[in-house]
Amino acid sequence: MQAMVWIGAGITVLGVAMLGWCAVSAARARSAGLDDDALRARLQKIVALNLGGLAVSGIGLMVVIVALFLS
């Protein structure tokens, strides 16, 4: 079960890294000086990746919790 905890923690770190990348990417997109339509299109892609990162992080935390309950 200890390996399952570490795997879950790794998945969670991957998800949090994706969230951080989305924040940096959104800040760069806003400072790029794009017009409204281009900025909106870029931010929509970033939001989709942000939700994916949130889902990956949540799955990792679920794996950790299941491993703790099973041990």
pLDDT tens string 36-69: 899 999 999 999 999 999 999 999 999 999 999 9
Rounded to two decimals, the pTM is: 0.84
Please give the tally of structural domains in the chain: 1
* pLDDT of 33 over the 90 cut: no
Q: What is the C-alpha separation between 28 and 66, in angstroms, rounded?
A: 38
Distances (CA, A) of 9 to 16, 31, 41, 51: 10, 33, 33, 19
Domain range enclosing 35: 2-70
* pLDDT of 34 over the 90 cut: no
